[in-house]
Amino acid sequence: MKINNGQVWNVCFGIQQGTSLLDKLATVRLSVAKAYDRNKIIKKLSEQFNDIAKLRDDLIKKYGKEDEEGNTSVSPEDVENFQKFINDQNELFEIEEDYKIKKLSADTLDSLELNFSELEQLSFLIDFGDEEEVEPVETETKSE
């Protein structure tokens, strides 16, 4: 399965604080076999996230400025460097990797409370079964 770095970033961001979507996924009680599959996903994506975060930090150092406390950031006010940072970050996030992972079935995640945005970000890891294409329903309008 092809997964881009942006997808990895979205589900892993906050992992150091225990607030990422993968952290939420790790709390779901699963059978041993499904927990094993889930843990493989978490391990592989966490490792990839660390690589992405390191490269992103390098971009921040390259295009940013250090403040009095020693923290480096890229300011939108520095339009030229900010745009270069965004372009390079987008390029980094668009890189795809081929992963040999098994998607989690949607029914195993019933106890996981997700908002729409979180579900959308995790959707590439979830097998929703035989999805039918949803087509808009045509409605008739009455002419008077």
- What is the arithmetic mean of pLDDT over 118-129? 90
pLDDT of residue 70 exceeding 60: yes
Q: Residue 43: its pLDDT value, please? A: 94
The token duo for 91 is: 């390029």
Q: Which band of pLDDT confidence, cut at 50, 70 and 90, is reported for residue 17?
A: low
* Lowest mean per-residue pLDDT among 17-26, 66-75, 88-97: 17-26
pLDDT of residue 131 exceeding 70: no
Distance CA 12, CA 6 (A): 10
Asked if residues 18 and 120 have their Cβ atoms less than 8 Å apart, the reply is: no
- What is the arithmetic mean of pLDDT over 31-42? 92
pLDDT of residue 140 exceeding 80: no
Q: Which band of pLDDT confidence, cut at 50, 70 and 90, is reported for residue 40?
A: very high
| pTM, two decimal places | 0.79
Which residues, at least 6 apart from 26, have a Cβ–Cβ distance to it below 8 Å? 38, 39, 42
Distance CA 63, CA 86 (A): 10
- What is the arithmetic mean of pLDDT over 120-134? 78
